[in-house]
């Protein structure tokens, strides 16, 4: 019911699940989906939970819809007006770490699935359907042993979902205004320009890497590597750090190190970046390290889950959601990597990772309603 999704969230906030700590929160969540089968897939300090239930195992292949999220949160930091792990109600908002990112999303879909499961037994629909929940305690961290290894295990068990909704906070101004249908990738790079250290009074005996870079910096800093498209902004090289020397005013540095990041669209890959930098730094002696920490992805053009979710949001929120790929990386990329039709949708993201993080209670109830109606919609058309 809408009324208890807020209470459910307050219970989740009380668990201080700073990455990768699970703090027993899975037992509480599982108790609300007690008739679901459960897999606990743990590795190292990371704990993952996968719950699933078959509805009406009739003829035909069951449609499998997964709701996914993370229960871990970033450290609260300073500046809070209340205990970040003791939820506080104020002016139609619930305050606490994880209120937006993303225990609100987890609360909404767990309550929606629970209530659908209760009413399903009384319904006449007997469409083959599987509903599942995938949760990890390591999304805010490295994520090495989180959602990815769960999906690998599900593939081995022939349990991979067909569709998935990751309940990240996606909206910007109003609940329902944004669905994430993809995400940019992330390429990290380090360039080390090599020179010859020496005394500033004898520049002819030195090779100053700062001067070597100087004429070329404008072709690196902030450069757009592609033009983007309808859904992706251009891939842009952003320099995050430049350092060299020994902090002496009379000694030129031997090397200069430049660190950068590129949030890349599907139009630029690591090879493209390498080719571009090679062209710009031609004639210089340098080392280049490149690492793609996440791959860009976008939902399938005929995405069923995008269509269904958009229709439901329009009905519930009286707004037509825009499709977006902005923001940082998320675990949705792992679902896409396994060929799963995945989107992200959740509450507003204006207070994520900040002091006094909060969520509007009406938005939370609306999210619950969107998820519940999405399940009903998919159930009605599961075998069509």
User: Do 115 and 366 touch, CB atoms closer than 8 A?
Assistant: no
CA distance 26 to 152: 21
Out of 22, 115, 138, 139, which one is annotated catalytic?
A: 139
Is 139 marked active-site? yes
User: Which element (helix H / strand E) includes 255?
Assistant: strand 255-264
CA distance 266 to 361: 37
Calculate the CA dihedral of residues 107, 318, 330, 75 and round it to 10 degrees.
Answer: -50
Q: Which bin fits 371, alpha (ψ -120 to 50), beta or left (φ > 0)?
A: alpha
User: Do 296 and 232 touch, CB atoms closer than 8 A?
Assistant: yes
The alpha carbon of 369 is separated from its chain's Cα centroid by a whole number of angstroms, namely 22
Give me the sign of the Cα torsion angle 238, 97, 295, 268: negative
Residue length of the chain: 384
36's CB contacts (< 8 A; 6+ apart) are 30, 51, 52, 53, 133
How wide is the angle at C-alpha 55 spanned by C-alphas 49 and 56, nearest 5°?
Answer: 155
Residue with tokens 């037994």: 121
Strand-pairing partners, residue 343, are 165
Question: In a 3-state reduction of DSSP, which class is residue 50?
Answer: strand
Strand-pairing partners, residue 193, are 256, 286
According to DSSP, residue 152 is labeled: H
Residue with tokens 């791959």: 295
The tokens of 4 are what?
Answer: 């208890």
The tokens of 229 are what?
Answer: 């498209």
User: Do 141 and 20 touch, CB atoms closer than 8 A?
Assistant: yes
The tokens of 244 are what?
Answer: 């060299």
Question: 299, 300, 275, 301: which is closest to 288 by C-alpha?
Answer: 275
Q: Which residues are catalytic?
A: 72, 139
């Amino acid at each position: 019911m809408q009324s208890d999704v807020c209470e459910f969230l307050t219970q989740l906030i009380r668990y201080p699940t700073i990455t990768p700590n699970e703090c027993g929160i899975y037992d509480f969540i599982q108790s609300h989906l007690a008739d679901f089968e459960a897999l606990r897939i743990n590795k190292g300090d990371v704990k993952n939970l996968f719950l699933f239930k078959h509805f009406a195992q009739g003829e035909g292949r069951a449609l499998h819809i997964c709701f996914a999220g993370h229960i871990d949160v970033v450290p609260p930091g300073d500046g809070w007006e209340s205990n970040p792990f003791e939820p506080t109600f104020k002016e139609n908002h619930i305050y606490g770490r994880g209120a937006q990112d993303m225990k609100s999303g987890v609360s909404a879909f767990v309550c929606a699935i629970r209530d659908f499961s209760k009413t399903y037994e009384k319904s006449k629909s007997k469409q083959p359907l599987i509903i599942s929940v995938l949760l990890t305690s390591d999304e805010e961290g490295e994520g090495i042993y989180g959602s990815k290894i769960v999906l690998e295990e599900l593939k081995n068990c022939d349990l991979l979902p067909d569709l998935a909704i990751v309940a990240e906070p996606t909206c910007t101004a109003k609940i329902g205004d944004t669905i994430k249908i993809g995400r940019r990738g992330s390429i990290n790079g380090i360039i080390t320009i090599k020179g010859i250290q020496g005394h500033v009074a004898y520049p002819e005996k030195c090779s100053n890497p700062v001067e070597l870079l100087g004429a070329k910096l404008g072709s690196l800093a902030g450069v757009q590597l592609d033009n983007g498209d309808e859904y992706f902004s251009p891939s842009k090289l952003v320099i995050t750090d430049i350092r060299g020397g020994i902090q002496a005013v009379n000694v030129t540095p031997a090397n200069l190190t430049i660190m950068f990041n590129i949030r890349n669209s599907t139009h630029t890959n690591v090879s493209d970046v390498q080719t571009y930098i090679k062209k710009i730094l031609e004639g210089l002696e340098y080392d280049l390290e490149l690492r793609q920490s996440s791959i860009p992805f976008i939902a399938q053009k005929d995405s069923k889950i995008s269509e269904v979710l958009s229709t439901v949001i329009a009905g519930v929120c009286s707004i037509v959601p825009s499709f977006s790929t902005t923001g940082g990386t998320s675990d949705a990329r792992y679902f896409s990597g396994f060929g799963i039709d995945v989107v992200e949708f959740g509450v507003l993201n204006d207070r994520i990772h900040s002091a006094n993080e909060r969520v509007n209670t009406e938005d939370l109830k609306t999210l619950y309603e969107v998820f519940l109606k999405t399940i009903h919609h998919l159930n009605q058309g599961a075998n069509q």
